[in-house]
Amino acid sequence: MQALSSEQLDYLVALRYALHQSPEVSGEEVQTAERIAAELTKLGADRLWRGLGGHGVAAEFAGREKGPTVLLRCELDGLPIREISDLPYKSTIPGKGHLCGHDGHMVSLLGVATRLATRPQKGRVILLFQPAEETGAGAQAVIDDPRWPEIRPDFAFAYHNVPGRPMGEVGLREGPGNCASRGMQILLEGKSSHAAAPEDGVSPGPAMAALMNCLPELSFGTIGDEAFSLATLTHANLGEPTFGIAPADGELRVTLRSMTNERMDALMQEALHIVEKHAEGLSVDILWHDVFRAVVNDVEAIGIARTAAGALGQRCHEMPTPMRWSEDFGRFGDDGAKVALLYLGAGEDIPQLHNPDYDFPDALVPVAVDLFSQVVQDMLGSET
């Protein structure tokens, strides 16, 4: 496939700036999806799917011969975080920002689409611009879309930029690559009373105090251990901000994290047992949010990416442990695809993901475009 020209790269960077200025959070990616669909139409996609799993967009670039379906995936959504920067293209939407790099991921896939003007020799490439990754809901919503069987891939590749690692380094890990996680919302209801007679009510206060001490004790081991677990308190609220009422209601939020899905199943049961033990006499409701399955990278798919990076002379890093943060890309592996989530170094001196001053490095765009394009060419060939 023909390499991108400097003019094409400049266009992609300018497009990233435009996307960066108008971030849309999970479930609201209407204008972002429209812009992406328009770009894919201009680039001559053979087929386009809109509104996948919400606002997702997918494009097909088909070869002339039968062969495997290779999906490349990126994310549409920004974050509900206020951006703090002096960038001329900083977010214009109060309280929202592309502070995870999904703007850069999107233009990377559009760069691959540009190079797919030279179609693969066999099979087909699907470029998926997925909604709602940040909440963990988007990948499963795409899979649940009734049109998904028309798209379902044999292999699926994606990447995430990683601040703190050398620019352009390709991180590879077979097996568990990103942790499973889920938010546990614990709602406790007792009975209010006058603050002068707390014995006439049922306060959730003692239960909350016990749970705030006991739930973090579920944390065990270090990342890389099969039994690794992490329970992080993220929110607590008891009663109303008054002095005359002994409280009736309380709420705790805890994020559970593990390296494997099997460990997560056990961790959930352990957390539920602790709540049952300490919330006796109270009405209890448990709600689960932001459910992420572990990303389990396929050995063959990682090998394909390793070979592609080697052909390009890109530096590879064989990661000894998974990432502690979560990614919903693992759902495509659960659906039967051979998946590989790659971890591209974004530079050692840039702010971390989700920081208010983070910005995706433009120099990573051609690295990602070249890597994904090489994967496609190695797997499907190209028309001459």
Identify the CATH number of the domain in which residue 327 sits. 3.40.630.10
Alpha helices in the chain (DSSP H): 6-21, 30-42, 102-115, 138-144, 205-214, 261-278, 299-312, 330-334, 364-380
In the chain, what percentage of residues exceed pLDDT 70? 99
Number of domains in the chain: 2
The maximal CA–CA distance of the chain, rounded, in angstroms, is: 85
Query: pLDDT tens across 8-64, in order?
Result: 999 999 999 999 999 999 999 999 999 999 999 999 999 999 999 999 999 999 999
pLDDT band at 1 (very low <50, low <70, confident <90, very high): low
Say yes or no: 157 and 218 in one domain.
no
Say yes or no: 276 and 303 in one domain.
no
Query: pLDDT tens across 335-372, in order?
Result: 999 999 999 999 999 999 999 999 999 999 999 999 99
Last residue of a domain, one of 292, 324, 354: 292
Phi, then psi, of 340 in degrees rounded to 5: -145, 115
Q: How far apart are CA 334 and CA 261, in angstroms?
A: 11
Residue 257 domain boundaries: 180-292
Instruction: Average the pLDDT over 272-291 and give the result.
Output: 97
Decide if 92 is inside a domain: yes
Q: What CATH number has the domain bearing residue 242?
A: 3.30.70.360
Say yes or no: 243 and 331 in one domain.
no
Say yes or no: 369 and 324 in one domain.
yes
By DSSP bridging, strand 180-189 and strand 249-258 are: antiparallel
| Number of CB atoms found within 10 A of residue 150's CB | 12
Say yes or no: 286 and 329 in one domain.
no
Say what the pLDDT of residue 271 is.
Answer: 98
Decide if 1 is inside a domain: no
Supply 270's token pair: 């352990």
Last residue of a domain, one of 292, 321, 343: 292
By DSSP bridging, strand 295-297 and strand 249-258 are: unpaired
Say yes or no: 10 and 136 in one domain.
yes
Say yes or no: 189 and 123 in one domain.
no
The H-or-E segment that residue 153 falls in is none
Say yes or no: 131 and 256 in one domain.
no
Say yes or no: 316 and 333 in one domain.
yes
Residues sharing a CB contact under 8 Å with residue 266, sequence separation 6 or more, in sequence order: none
> Under a CB-based contact definition with an 8 Å cutoff, are residues 365 and 12 in contact?
yes
Say yes or no: 277 and 215 in one domain.
yes
Decide if 201 is inside a domain: yes
Supply 130's token pair: 């997925």
Last residue of a domain, one of 292, 323, 345: 292
- What is the chain's length? 384
Say yes or no: 308 and 270 in one domain.
no
